[in-house]
Amino acid sequence: MASYLSVIGTPARYLPIGNTEPDLVLPDLTSGRWVFLFGPAGCGKTHRAVEILHAHFARVGKPRPSDWRPWHHGKRPAPGPLFVDWPGLLKAKVRAIGNDEAEDPILTVLGNRDVVLLDDVATERPTDFAIETLGEVISDRYNAVAPTVLTSNRSLDEIAATYGKRIASRISEAALVADQSGTDWRLAIARGETC
């Protein structure tokens, strides 16, 4: 059965989560709450983040394809809930620079007041461009109290050291911070174990 989570850009690997029973014990984002999940590669951050979105949609209603349309002409429709591969978005933004025809891909997130999952933030090299772009998005969503789920291989201390305290302190103030370290699900799956 196709999963409704594809509507928001969730990668194929995590789509089956949309067909599971939502776990309503997971943090409730409806008041604009943030969740920050960190831990090493394979520990299940993205999986858990998608489960949190799935529980959120069980509370507020599922997004439908008609709620989100790419913008071509005329008035831009409000962007809806989104799964964002953060390093991919940064690369797309770089590609759009200097192309007058291309829309800045960051505009799908900036000003978006719906739930957004920013997957793998602060994992790229902390160039001025990467720091400024992440800072802009974090401030925008922080000021708007917009529900946000973030995952990272870096802890908040590491983000503060490499990306600066402004970004780290906004995340720490807004977010329920959860250390996902422990199991490497990829190794466990490869070994045929269940965790």
Ligand X SMILES: Nc1ncnc2c1ncn2[C@@H]1O[C@H](COP(=O)(O)OP(=O)(O)OP(=O)(O)O)[C@@H](O)[C@H]1O
The owner of tokens 């029973």 is: 21
CB of 13 to ligand X, least distance (A): 6
**Residue 108 sits in the site that holds ligand X (CB under 6 A):** no
**Residue 42 sits in the site that holds ligand X (CB under 6 A):** yes
Position among 41, 94, 102, 144 found at the interface with ligand X (CB under 6 A): 41
Q: Taking contact as CB under 6 A, which single stretch among the options 28-36, 38-46, 75-83, 136-144 is the one that binds ligand X?
A: 38-46
**Residue 189 sits in the site that holds ligand X (CB under 6 A):** yes
Two tokens, residue 68: 């989100």
**Residue 46 sits in the site that holds ligand X (CB under 6 A):** yes
Nearer Cβ to ligand X (123/169)? 123
**Residue 78 sits in the site that holds ligand X (CB under 6 A):** no
Nearer Cβ to Mg ion (15/60)? 15
Do residues 94 and 132 make contact, with C-beta atoms less than 8 angstroms apart?
A: no
**Residue 18 sits in the site that holds ligand X (CB under 6 A):** no
**Residue 152 sits in the site that holds Mg ion (CB under 5 A):** no
Of Mg ion, ligand X, none, which one sits near residue 81, judging by CB under 5 to 8 A according to partner kind? Answer: none
CB of 119 to Mg ion, least distance (A): 6
**Residue 45 sits in the site that holds ligand X (CB under 6 A):** yes
Which residues from 33-52 bind Mg ion, rule CB under 5 A?
46
CB crowding 77-108: b at 16 or more within 10 Å, else e: eebbbbbbbbbebbebbeebeeeeeeeebbeb
Contacts of 185 (CB under 8 A, 6+ apart): 42, 43, 44, 47, 195
CB of 184 to ligand X, least distance (A): 8
The owner of tokens 């969740």 is: 35
Strands 34-38 and 148-152, how do they pair? parallel
**For 79, which DSSP code?**
P
* DSSP characters over 109-175: TTT--S-EEEETTT-S---HHHHHHHHHHHHHHHHHT--EEEEESS-HHHHHHHH-HHHHHHHHHHE
Q: Which residues bind Mg ion (CB under 5 A)?
A: 46
Q: Which residues bind ligand X (CB under 6 A)?
A: 13, 39, 41-47, 120, 151, 153, 185-186, 189
